[in-house]
Chains A and B, each alone.
Chain A
Amino acid sequence: MATDTTSTSLESAAQGVSVTGWEAFKNSWFYKFTLFPLGQIFGFILGVSVILTVLALLLAVVFPEPRENINLTQQIARQLPDMIIGGVSIGFVYAMIALGYTLVYGVLKFINFAHSEFFMVGSVVGFEVMQRIGAAGEGVLEAWNPILLIVALVLSGMVISGTLAVIVERVAYRPLRGAPRLVPLISAIGVSFLLIDVVRGFAAITRNDFNLTYPVSQVSFFQQRPEITLTPENAPLLQFWFTAANRDEIDIGLRMTSLIIIVAAILMLLILNWFVNGTKQGRGIRAVSQDMATAGLMGINANLMISLTFFLGGAFGGAAGVLYGLNVGTVTPFVGFIPGLTAFTAAVLGGIGNMTGALLGGLALGLIETFLNGILVYFPAFGQRYTPVFTFSVLILVLLFRPSGLLGAKVDEKV
């Protein structure tokens, strides 16, 4: 930020008194760009988890035994840690994709229906890079520092998807800027099909297979499963939980790849929040999104800011693709469709154009989906294949009853 050196004197001058204590702390970089967004993320995860757990337990009251020998309360208590961790990790993937929809909507008031393909391309790039590193010889992947490997994969996904997004905007959207709203939308759908087909052709030619499996099994780090075991001794306050689960102890197992998603996503979201709300370029993006013509009068090259926005959105989609690929193991050229639509729902749920909304919408949908998956299996009439039905019912309900989303439409909120 160009004016950081002057900020303290201006801030204290503005309030007429020297700012100290809490006020000064609230204006500090540390609070604005780390503590506050982190608190928001963890608070929200906690809140949604509690609500979903209560709803699940209510369901268990109504249907105590949905199947023979299945005690629903017991199952919920046993699966709870897995459901929350799984939901949070897929939720961050959705959130990172949703941010791309919301950023682009913020500046152009246009829904980039090709955005899910930036996610797909990222997941394929991550596969290609990892596969090529691994192909160099046995034990090569294992020899890499795992953190470095993750950074390399994520960065390559970000660079390629981000660049692709910039090119797509330049070629397929910018020439249509003045056209009626439906025209760029149709162009976006065309781009989406084109990208799927190009990647499909690429996979067919180079691999002769659409199923691209990350060689995660060659890296022992990714196979790790850090575990915490809760027992009545180390967690006496959780006795009610042991009782509900009808277990003497509870293992909380973390899949390493889920942990990677969570850590990487939080770091990246903090950086994005700082970039958009704390730097000059970010200020330019927000100005363009609020009033493009006036931003031009201030000397801002609106097209440059739009390209930058597409790069950010594409890069986040690409990073999400890589992290998702590492987690699920196998990706295809069609992998963008359902996560893309879910992330779009998340963006709409949070209020399209609102960055905080996209993050919270993504986390909420991830958790809802995982809870449904975990619980619906016990209901013979349902099963997991109905989960998308719930997700898209959410989309329809939001569009019908609260089209501006839960948090309204603002781009400059904290992530």
Chain B
Amino acid sequence: MQPVLEIQGLHTYYGHIHALKGIDVTVNKGEIVTLIGSNGAGKSTILRTISGIAKARQGSIRLDGKDITNKRPHEVTALGVAHVPEGRRIFPELSVRENLEIGAWNVNDPSLITQRMEQAFEFFPRIKERLFQKGGTLSGGEQQMLAISRALMSDPDILLLDEPSMGLAPVLVELIFEIIKRINAQGKTILLVEQNALMALEIASRGYVLQTGQIVLKDSAAALMVNDSVRKAYLGES
């Protein structure tokens, strides 16, 4: 098993807030790994530190064996990481198509851009119908589809997804997770942050449980799903 992403002893602060207190996470090639945990546990912070938006004070992050700790966001992206941020963050005044083109910022071959757009339309036909609409006028579900499509435009080695199910109707959540599975089946490695622990564990191979900036549990997804404390805390059982 070949690790794509290796995080060791990661500490991140927001001012005086100690958000990550020594995190170790490994994601192997071709895996879906999920990070679950309650609000404020530090899930987004892990993703943000990987992609360089938040700064690590201690510890290391390696991508394909190469140290990427505290590189600037555009450098991390150029090395093969695509981050779909929490809340989608579509460029509201750019058209859908321009949003996709921005996702392909480091791609210079126009035929490659077209090819990846066609792939995105195949995943989400809805995107194609909205191509010339401004990003800000899309519905929440459409924005999530666009955010994922946009991230795929760079053909990343690893895709970081931050709560793709947030605020979506159950049917749409099903659809999004179906596509995530298909993206993974095409060979993309995925690190998935989710509140919806059940759905995340269903498609993931392994998972980490996060609590106030620390990893309290890590195991295969199947084992986590039957774990008593996980069931109580995150799968809504009493």
A residues with CB within 8 A of B: 2-6, 9-11, 13-14, 280, 283-284, 286-287, 290-291, 293-302, 410-412
A14 touches B94 (CB 8 A): no
Residue numbers in A under 8 Å from B131 (CB-CB): 10-11, 14
B91 touches A296 (CB 8 A): no
Task: Report Cα–Cα, A291/B90, bound state, in Å.
Answer: 9
Dominant SS at the A interface? helix
Contact flags (1/0) for B121-159 with A, using CB distance below 8 Å? 000000011011000000000000000001000100000
Given known pairs A2-B108, A2-B113, A14-B129, the reply for A293 and B73 (CB within 8 Å) is yes
Interface residues on B, range: 35 or more
Chain A residue at minimum C-beta to C-beta distance from B82: A297
Chain B residue at minimum C-beta to C-beta distance from A9: B114
B101 within 8 A of A: yes
B94 touches A412 (CB 8 A): yes
B106 within 8 A of A: yes
Task: Report Cα–Cα, A299/B154, bound state, in Å.
Answer: 9
Task: Report Cα–Cα, A5/B113, bound state, in Å.
Answer: 11
Smallest beta-carbon distance B219→chain A, Å = 30
A10 touches B91 (CB 8 A): no
Contact flags (1/0) for B71-114 with A, using CB distance below 8 Å? 01110011000110100010111100110011101111011011
Task: Report Cα–Cα, A406/B90, bound state, in Å.
Answer: 26
A-B interface, 7 closest residue pairs, ranked by CB to CB distance from nearest: A296-B73, A299-B77, A299-B105, A14-B131, A294-B89, A6-B114, A299-B106
B113 touches A291 (CB 8 A): no
- Cβ-neighbour of A297 out of B73, B111, B114 (below 8 A): B73
Task: Report Cα–Cα, A181/B78, bound state, in Å.
Answer: 31
Given known pairs A283-B101, A283-B102, A297-B83, the reply for A14 and B93 (CB within 8 Å) is no
29 contacting pairs across A/B (C-beta < 8 A) = A2-B110, A3-B110, A3-B113, A3-B114, A5-B110, A6-B110, A6-B111, A6-B113, A6-B114, A10-B97, A11-B131, A13-B128, A14-B129, A280-B101, A283-B98, A283-B101, A284-B105, A287-B94, A291-B89, A293-B53, A294-B85, A294-B89, A295-B91, A296-B52, A296-B73, A298-B150, A299-B106, A410-B93, A412-B94
Given known pairs A2-B113, A3-B110, A290-B93, the reply for A296 and B72 (CB within 8 Å) is yes
B93 touches A286 (CB 8 A): yes
Residue numbers in A under 8 Å from B114 (CB-CB): 3, 6, 9-10
Residue numbers in B under 8 Å from A9 (CB-CB): 114
Residue numbers in A under 8 Å from B70 (CB-CB): none
B49 within 8 A of A: no
Among A2, A280, A411, residue most surrounded by chain B Cβ atoms (within 10 Å) = A2
Chain A residue at minimum C-beta to C-beta distance from B160: A297
Among A10, A299, A410, residue most surrounded by chain B Cβ atoms (within 10 Å) = A299
Among B78, B102, B113, residue most surrounded by chain A Cβ atoms (within 10 Å) = B102
- Cβ-neighbour of A283 out of B82, B94, B111, B129 (below 8 A): B94
Task: Report Cα–Cα, A293/B73, bound state, in Å.
Answer: 8
B117 within 8 A of A: yes
Residue numbers in A under 8 Å from B45 (CB-CB): none
Given known pairs A6-B110, A291-B89, A298-B77, the reply for A284 and B102 (CB within 8 Å) is yes
B105 touches A300 (CB 8 A): yes
Residue numbers in A under 8 Å from B154 (CB-CB): 298-299
Given known pairs A3-B113, A3-B114, the reply for A297 and B53 (CB within 8 Å) is yes
B34 within 8 A of A: no
Residue numbers in A under 8 Å from B102 (CB-CB): 283-284, 287, 295, 298, 300
A299 touches B74 (CB 8 A): yes
B113 touches A287 (CB 8 A): no
Task: Report Cα–Cα, A290/B52, bound state, in Å.
Answer: 19
Residue numbers in B under 8 Å from A13 (CB-CB): 128
A290 touches B91 (CB 8 A): yes
Smallest beta-carbon distance B138→chain A, Å = 14
Smallest beta-carbon distance A286→chain B, Å = 6
Residue numbers in A under 8 Å from B53 (CB-CB): 293, 296-297
Residue numbers in A under 8 Å from B74 (CB-CB): 296, 298-302
Smallest beta-carbon distance B205→chain A, Å = 25
A286 touches B128 (CB 8 A): no
Chain B residue at minimum C-beta to C-beta distance from A4: B110
Task: Report Cα–Cα, A298/B154, bound state, in Å.
Answer: 8
Smallest beta-carbon distance A37→chain B, Å = 18
Task: Report Cα–Cα, A46/B84, bound state, in Å.
Answer: 47
Smallest beta-carbon distance B95→chain A, Å = 9
Contact flags (1/0) for B41-67 with A, using CB distance below 8 Å? 000000000011100000000000000
Residue numbers in B under 8 Å from A302 (CB-CB): 74
Among A4, A5, A14, A280, residue most surrounded by chain B Cβ atoms (within 10 Å) = A14
Smallest beta-carbon distance A402→chain B, Å = 20
Task: Report Cα–Cα, A286/B134, bound state, in Å.
Answer: 13
A3 touches B132 (CB 8 A): no
Task: Report Cα–Cα, A206/B71, bound state, in Å.
Answer: 47
Task: Report Cα–Cα, A291/B143, bound state, in Å.
Answer: 15
Task: Report Cα–Cα, A294/B132, bound state, in Å.
Answer: 21
